[in-house]
Amino acid sequence: MSNLLDIHHVSKSFPGVKALDDVSMSLAAGSVHALLGENGAGKSTLIKIITGLLHPDTGDVVLDGAPTRFNSPREAAAHGIAVVHQERNLVPRFSVGENIMLDRLGKGSLSRIDFAAVNQEAARWLKLLDLDIDPQTPVSRLSVAQMQLVEIGKALSLKSRVLLLDEPTASLTPAESEALFAIIRRLKADSVAILFVSHKLEEVFQICDTVTVLRDGRNVCDSVPLAGLGRQDVVMMMIGRPERISSRAPRPKTAAKPYLELGDFGSAAGHQGIHLSVRPGEIVGLYGLVGAGRSELAKAVLGLYRQTSGTVCIAGAPVHIASVAEALHRHGIGYVSEDRKGEGLILMHSVLDNAGVTVWRRLAGRLGFLASGAIARRIGPVVDKLEVKTPSLRQTIGNLSGGNQQKVSVAKWIAAGVRLLIIDEPSVGIDIKTKAYLHDLIHELAAGGTAVLLITSDMPEMIDVADRILVMDGYRIKGEVENDRNYERVSQAIMTHIHSRQAA
């Protein structure tokens, strides 16, 4: 099989860091190639070089056997290389058809758009993807998964022969991912070369043929067949040590009185009849597909959605929580948002300000003045303990890696001494090493008597961390599974609860 795209010994340096060091990779037509590596391993830099956003210092990008040099993603697209980025890149108010054909709406600025032709052409690509969507539907009405597929349709409509998918399943449900894989398999049969970047190894083994692993900007392996490799081998290559899968023993049950108890709870977000309790020292998992209402439930507890029915008890006493400030300062509830960059951190502020924001109120002097010294004394030990890799507390947090940002978002609640911590999707976009570290940290917190409510769509993570798993669907709790760390049994039980929806 001939190679469509070759990366030949590419190196790229940025001031102070060598992002890629003599990296090679080959993509063949009609195969799916996994690009793996922890955060900071150089995957994004490599993708940017392939799409012309960056130029290599040394080495070549070889397309069809000839070295090429693209000056922009547009030029790369013209040569049949298209990317579907991790973030959605669609214009929400525009129709599906217009989005797919956005760069081909007309010849000149003042030319009249032939909408019939645009929709007809778009419909062709939607049909190819088995997407039953009218091209005239506004993109804002689609689900995240549909938007993703529309972007793939858009990439294909550029007659792409090389398709780069950057974490395509990050926001998809398992069923939606399956549908995506079916499409990837079909594209593969049509001789498209596909590069698949993902943190989810199960998926990689499911659909990829070959794999390139990067670590610290270098090849650990270069385009080897995945067939002979096991999951442990790949993990070993990525982090240099084998990953532990559910090696923890189930933790002893605690008999303490629940810290948070919801009885027949309903909210303005649409929850109904929610019964839930979290004891001090207990880790309760909340599993469900995207859209099941888990994050919304956390936000309803914090007072961001109005309570419409039922009761909320904190340490046995009925309460009504009206605002996040009240949740934190009166009841000691902290929330680590799934949207780290949007809701969790102030990216342009320092580590100190981000971690300290929860304790300002308590540490403020009589006149409301904040002494940096006092805050640093409080924050410093926590930041050290979590092994946040930052040159100083003054460092702007936007400059840290995703894993370290996540540590800071947890640190700020630890510093605040919360008694109930709600953690929403703690490991989205986090490398395996930091993920394992965060899991240890959650266990340590619980061992220290903190009640933890864990929300995650990552099944292995749920089974590795939680004591008890509540399964949520359609803004209701569908059932509860005791977690004995037996992956097969527990995941089966969870799925049974979710699929009981038709019966219910």
Q: Which is nearer to another protein, 2 or 109 (CB)?
A: 109
92 near another protein (CB under 8 A): yes
**Structure token pair of residue 476:** 């209701």
Q: Which is nearer to another protein, 156 or 462 (CB)?
A: 156
108 near another protein (CB under 8 A): yes
111 near another protein (CB under 8 A): yes
Q: Do residues 498 and 471 make contact, with C-beta atoms less than 8 angstroms apart?
A: yes
* Least separation in angstroms between CB 270 and another protein: 6
* Cα–Cα distance for residue pair 303/299, rounded to 1 Å: 6
Please count the other Cβ atoms lying within 10 Å of the Cβ belonging to residue 54: 17
Q: Do residues 177 and 202 make contact, with C-beta atoms less than 8 angstroms apart?
A: no
Among 142, 327, 393, 463, binds another protein (CB under 8 A): 142
Q: Do residues 22 and 218 make contact, with C-beta atoms less than 8 angstroms apart?
A: yes
Backbone angles phi, psi at 494, to 5 degrees: -65, -45
Q: Which is nearer to another protein, 73 or 449 (CB)?
A: 73
Please count the other Cβ atoms lying within 10 Å of the Cβ belonging to residue 86: 15
77 near another protein (CB under 8 A): yes
175 near another protein (CB under 8 A): no
384 near another protein (CB under 8 A): no
154 near another protein (CB under 8 A): yes
105 near another protein (CB under 8 A): yes
113 near another protein (CB under 8 A): yes
User: Which range, of 83-91, 188-196, 318-326, 479-487, touches another protein by CB under 8 A?
Assistant: 83-91
Report CA-CA distances (Å) from 343 to 335, 340, 424, 455: 10, 6, 11, 16
Q: Do residues 334 and 358 make contact, with C-beta atoms less than 8 angstroms apart?
A: yes
* Least separation in angstroms between CB 94 and another protein: 6
User: Which range, of 36-44, 54-62, 88-96, 436-444, touches another protein by CB under 8 A?
Assistant: 88-96
Q: Which is nearer to another protein, 6 or 296 (CB)?
A: 296
Restricted to residues 272-291, the positions that interact with another protein (CB under 8 A) are 291
137 near another protein (CB under 8 A): yes
Please count the other Cβ atoms lying within 10 Å of the Cβ belonging to residue 249: 8
Among 55, 69, 74, 127, binds another protein (CB under 8 A): 74
Report CA-CA distances (Å) from 251 to 281, 355, 443: 10, 30, 9
90 near another protein (CB under 8 A): yes
* Least separation in angstroms between CB 267 and another protein: 11
* Least separation in angstroms between CB 213 and another protein: 27
94 near another protein (CB under 8 A): yes
Q: Which is nearer to another protein, 89 or 311 (CB)?
A: 89
User: Which range, of 93-101, 174-182, 258-266, 392-400, touches another protein by CB under 8 A?
Assistant: 93-101
DSSP three-state, residue 29? coil
Q: Do residues 55 and 11 make contact, with C-beta atoms less than 8 angstroms apart?
A: no
Q: Do residues 338 and 363 make contact, with C-beta atoms less than 8 angstroms apart?
A: no
**Structure token pair of residue 318:** 């009925």
Q: Which is nearer to another protein, 273 or 291 (CB)?
A: 291
Among 8, 18, 48, 85, binds another protein (CB under 8 A): 85
Question: Which is it for strands 32-36 and 210-215: parallel, antiparallel or unpaired?
Answer: parallel
**In sequence order, which residues have a C-beta less than 8 Å from that of residue 157 and are 6 or more positions away?**
100, 101, 121, 122, 125
Query: Where does 129-190 have alpha helices with state H?
Result: 144-157, 174-189
* Cα–Cα distance for residue pair 360/343, rounded to 1 Å: 18
166 near another protein (CB under 8 A): no
Check the CA dihedral 199-401-337-348 and report its sign: negative
**Structure token pair of residue 339:** 């949207």
* Least separation in angstroms between CB 93 and another protein: 5
Among 17, 91, 325, 447, binds another protein (CB under 8 A): 91
Pattern 31-70, another protein, x by CB under 8 A: ----------------------------------------
Q: Which is nearer to another protein, 197 or 355 (CB)?
A: 197
Among 203, 243, 296, 338, binds another protein (CB under 8 A): 296
Report CA-CA distances (Å) from 196 to 129, 206, 305: 18, 12, 38
Instruction: Please compute Rg for the chain using Cα positions.
Output: 24
Q: Which is nearer to another protein, 272 or 372 (CB)?
A: 272
| Binding interface with another protein (CB under 8 A) | 73-74, 77, 85, 87-94, 98-99, 102-103, 105-106, 108-113, 115, 137, 140-143, 154, 269-270, 291, 293, 296, 474
